[in-house]
Structure 1
């Protein structure tokens, strides 16, 4: 007999709160068997609410009531058998563990009931009643674990479903789609109904990359546990997108692969940015070639002819004209060199340096002497102390000293000296260049080393604005390439001072740079 069951009430599937008493249901038409079960259960679970059902009418009433935490049922009842009761409880209160305590059930019937979800079968013996509380505890714990697993799986499903920026899906060992989240639909254009059970590679992988059903991604995932890489993938409309790909292997018994978790992320914008950078790099190389060859070659020819022409002509106006040509050509040469250094520094990852052993203090002395000859009407003092041996790029550091001293000469008061000091009494070595004169305005200090910034403005000489404004930028790049630092102070009382600190060896420079 299968009695008609009442309809489900709202909230009937909810478990009682942890603070509520344990609710147990005992269904048995034998009064003595019910009493025996109730006695051991109340003793084992003090304070529990125990409901006893002896007939069909009471059974119908119980089914309309609140949920129980566990049920103990007999197999053979006047109004139904144990299988019917088990199914009724499962429909009414999903997840409630059910135990069967019977003296009439056969082994095949008990096995069938276990397959249908019965937690445990116990024969009606004195020993079984003694074991009943333990069996109930085990059943409650298994139910709690199952519920926790269900909730965890539901939480995971909701999280995966809510990740729209990533396509996350499962495929079986053959590559057929088992799950498909909303992110996968958003990225690929395929709905879940369209892809479930389909082979994933023909859907998403371009023909040129479709070498086999699972491909190297799955092979590496099986071998290493996870595959990560990038590649072109297809959308439903045939459009391609560059995907960041992760494939994780799922293993079954005997460590055999039973499927894969695939995560795809559309990184087409990043790929396009990389292509733009690559094209910019190619353009930079072409630009360097044009500047260094196509412009320098005719400029060198002009410079050479302007130097030869005064030897063959005597009139003073011609000599003055050729002198101006030569000076202009030299200035253009310096500008071209600055442009090349700027391009290397800004677009090429820094100005390259080639270190060789040498004496930094001697280098500074030689450059200072050259500048004294070039500016005979200005006073340039030089003081060196200590020892200057190290590994330097001589040509690049010559640029540093020339730029900083020339800058001090331009900005300093003409009748005051420019002081050049260098000392090497430890590591790093230090270079200091000082001039007196109008201080650098505080609002301009943060921009001193910016490219194309020139020290013009109110109170500045026109001579300060004749270059490209790359001198201090290049100085800073060369200093940084040596692993060093450059610092400037400027005020009305003490004047302006640039201080450069350079480590003697590359290893010291590397340690000072830190993580990128």
Structure 2
């Protein structure tokens, strides 16, 4: 029995020794014992490190020396032991003192130690130094306080929080100033009350929160309401706020009143529109000035020739030369109109394979007359050059325009070089030109050239360096429009004092040049069809209608005239149906295309011709409609009649 008790005692002593070694080895916690009076009875390495006392210095001393003067005066040490004795444990955080007098923030646990009979033996005290955590918490609190002060102090922005359902949970001074609500009036209310009735009907508040929740942010501008019902233009940002585990906590909402900025932008937009309108009117003035000058010259030739022809006709004299002069003037007017259409890219191009060297050769006499004797033209072409795809008439006009410009750049005379070569083009090599093979037709002068600013404006509509009345500023824009419509580009290369090179990049035709077409016969169509046609001619311009009718009657046909689409439909309803209808496109109330659509719905099999000066037709128009470009000659009218009737009878 004594042996067993001895062994048990030895075992207990061994276990106690192990616990003591464990406690003494702990350095992160001060672990020590107090007797029932609060005096220190044990002291581990952690207590020495945290408190600063050695074991010999602190054993037998009262633990109250670790408390601040204020806590000792308040009886905190005694209250802590009394609580531990009464409740078994005391736990708290507070300031404690080291040996050197420095304070540290301590987490303290005091447990009452009792024997098996319940008698109090003393207290076990564990203290942990939480100064760093306390400092971090204090810093966080200070930062949060500063942030709250900052947010509350901002008056230019409404900054407030919403809960996940959209109720307002905080309200800064900026929100109060902009929205007009006091915090107690708005906190707990749904933020949708700031939206207009239209936006609420469109469910915009919910959509905004859904977007912010899904994408992290919602941003938009729109009308919002103040407390007094007035509207303001707001820039709104809503950010979703989530916890560390990703759960939605709420939303941070920032609203700025940008009404004044919007008004300023609207004023700027109005000013820009007024400026654009002024610039447009200036451009129209330049256009009308230049065109009026050219047209007055043409009308002078036409009216003057016809006036003298009328007098000669009354006296029985020959008028052929005067009539020819009037016709030439009218043709020049038509060419000027084509320049305008080319500038707007609305002329009706007839693209075909063009032998460029041959075209230049045939223009030689015209070019030389245009530039005068002081300037020489030199041409360079390879022996073999593929045909280019272009409208030969428009290409001649463009080339003549470039040569005249080159002449004007060399008032003292010189040489103009006209060259052409085949050039492969990679994507991006030439601006606005797709990759492929092209013919590059160049006009090179030895003139004064252009500075960078002039070069940038050279192809701008109405821009001209020539004097008043000497140019419309449509020459290069016309060339540019022709190139763009035919799949090519105009490229200008120039430097001040180094001359100018104008390049026309033309697509290569897939087939060779067409054979020259035989001269059109002016004989009446009745000879080809063996019968006289009844033609319904429709045009809202009385002079044009009369001229069309006279040409048709001269070709041997019977003509019924109508000055509107409505009148044409009335004629079709009461009279025998005509063999063919020729109608203008641009007419008020009912266009030519609309008229032909109604004719197709009510009558079948009537051939139609649409007379227009534009290449484009309205959306939905039949692309197979036979078109006749205005102004047209009697020969062109005869050919259009013949081909249309042939197609209808085939």
Q: Cα deviations across residues 138-194 of structure 1 (Å, max 9, x unaligned)?
A: x45544553564466567657766877654432112322223456545654556565
Partner of 1:433: 443
Q: Cα deviations across residues 285-339 of structure 1 (Å, max 9, x unaligned)?
A: x99xx99xx999xx99x9899769846852699879968975995697478669x
Q: Does 1:36 align with 2:65?
A: no
Partner of 2:369: 376
Tell me, what secondary structure is at the counterpart of 1:103?
A: strand
Q: Cα deviations across residues 43-79 of structure 1 (Å, max 9, x unaligned)?
A: 369899x999854997326899xxxxxxx98961589
Does the CA-based 8 Å contact 2:450-2:494 persist in structure 1? no
Tell me, what secondary structure is at the counterpart of 1:36?
A: coil
Does the CA-based 8 Å contact 2:444-2:500 persist in structure 1? yes
Report the Cα offset of residue 198 of structure 1. Answer: 3.1
The 1:96–1:172 alpha-carbon spacing in structure 2 relative to 1, beyond 3 Å, is farther
Q: Does 1:466 align with 2:470?
A: yes
Does the CA-based 8 Å contact 1:483-1:502 persist in structure 2? yes
Q: Highest Rg: 1 or 2?
A: 2
Length-normalised TM-score, structure 1: 0.54
Q: Does 1:208 align with 2:198?
A: yes
Tell me, what secondary structure is at the counterpart of 1:425?
A: strand
The counterpart of 2:464, out of the listed 454, 458, 474, is 454
Report the Cα offset of residue 387 of structure 1. Answer: 6.6
Q: Whole-Å Cα distance in 2 between the matches of residues 393 and 161 of structure 1?
A: 74
Does the CA-based 8 Å contact 1:364-1:401 persist in structure 2? no
Tell me, what secondary structure is at the counterpart of 1:227?
A: strand
Does the CA-based 8 Å contact 1:242-1:271 persist in structure 2? no
The 1:53–1:47 alpha-carbon spacing in structure 2 relative to 1, beyond 3 Å, is closer
Partner of 1:17: none
Report the Cα offset of residue 205 of structure 1. Answer: 0.8
Q: Whole-Å Cα distance in 1 between the matches of residues 132 and 346 of structure 2?
A: 69
The 1:310–1:354 alpha-carbon spacing in structure 2 relative to 1, beyond 3 Å, is closer
1:33-432 correspondence to structure 2 within 5 Å: 36=43, 39-43=45-49, 54-55=63-64, 59-60=68-69, 76-77=80-81, 86=93, 97-104=105-112, 125=124, 129=126, 135-136=128-129, 139-140=130-131, 142-143=133-134, 145-147=136-138, 149-150=140-141, 153=144, 167-181=158-172, 184=175, 188=179, 195-202=186-193, 204-211=194-201, 214-236=205-227, 238-251=229-242, 257-265=248-256, 266=258, 268-269=262-263, 272=266, 310=305, 313-314=308-309, 333=337, 341=344, 366=359, 373=366, 376-378=369-371, 379-384=376-381, 403-413=401-411, 415-427=413-425, 428=430, 430=440, 432=442
Report the Cα offset of residue 223 of structure 1. Answer: 3.9
Q: Whole-Å Cα distance in 2 between the matches of residues 502 and 426 of structure 1?
A: 11
Q: Whole-Å Cα distance in 1 between the matches of residues 479 and 453 of structure 2?
A: 21
Report the Cα offset of residue 206 of structure 1. Answer: 1.0
Q: Whole-Å Cα distance in 1 between the matches of residues 446 and 133 of structure 2?
A: 86
Report the Cα offset of residue 231 of structure 1. Answer: 3.0
The 1:257–1:60 alpha-carbon spacing in structure 2 relative to 1, beyond 3 Å, is same
Does the CA-based 8 Å contact 1:384-1:423 persist in structure 2? yes
The 1:336–1:253 alpha-carbon spacing in structure 2 relative to 1, beyond 3 Å, is same
Q: Whole-Å Cα distance in 1 between the matches of residues 157 and 133 of structure 2?
A: 35
Tell me, what secondary structure is at the counterpart of 2:369?
A: coil
Report the Cα offset of residue 487 of structure 1. Answer: 3.1
Does the CA-based 8 Å contact 1:163-1:183 persist in structure 2? yes
Q: Whole-Å Cα distance in 2 between the matches of residues 455 and 208 of structure 1?
A: 56
Does the CA-based 8 Å contact 1:364-1:398 persist in structure 2? no
Q: Does 1:496 align with 2:499?
A: yes
Q: Cα deviations across residues 320-363 of structure 1 (Å, max 9, x unaligned)?
A: 9968975995697478669x75xxxxxxxxx899999987x957
The 1:274–1:55 alpha-carbon spacing in structure 2 relative to 1, beyond 3 Å, is same
Report the Cα offset of residue 496 of structure 1. Answer: 1.0
Does the CA-based 8 Å contact 2:489-2:505 persist in structure 1? yes
Query: Which structure 1 residue ranges, 5 or more long, are not aligned?
Result: 1-23, 65-71, 90-94, 106-122, 342-350, 457-461, 506-516
Does the CA-based 8 Å contact 2:302-2:325 persist in structure 1? no
Does the CA-based 8 Å contact 2:234-2:255 persist in structure 1? yes
Does the CA-based 8 Å contact 1:357-1:389 persist in structure 2? no
Length-normalised TM-score, structure 2: 0.45
Q: Whole-Å Cα distance in 1 between the matches of residues 173 and 393 of structure 2?
A: 60
Query: Which structure 2 residue ranges, 5 or more long, are not aligned?
Result: 1-29, 97-102, 114-121, 313-318, 431-437, 509-650
Report the Cα offset of residue 222 of structure 1. Answer: 3.2
Tell me, what secondary structure is at the counterpart of 1:249?
A: strand
Q: Whole-Å Cα distance in 1 between the matches of residues 133 and 494 of structure 2?
A: 73
Report the Cα offset of residue 210 of structure 1. Answer: 1.6
Report the Cα offset of residue 431 of structure 1. Answer: 5.2
Report the Cα offset of residue 497 of structure 1. Answer: 1.5
Bigger shift: 428-437 or 186-195? 186-195
Report the Cα offset of residue 467 of structure 1. Answer: 2.9
Does the CA-based 8 Å contact 1:388-1:424 persist in structure 2? yes
Does the CA-based 8 Å contact 1:449-1:472 persist in structure 2? yes
Report the Cα offset of residue 99 of structure 1. Answer: 0.6
Q: Cα deviations across residues 421-449 of structure 1 (Å, max 9, x unaligned)?
A: 34333314655432234455788667656
Q: Cα deviations across residues 359-393 of structure 1 (Å, max 9, x unaligned)?
A: 7x957975896586265253444434587789999
Report the Cα offset of residue 472 of structure 1. Answer: 5.3
Does the CA-based 8 Å contact 1:174-1:213 persist in structure 2? no
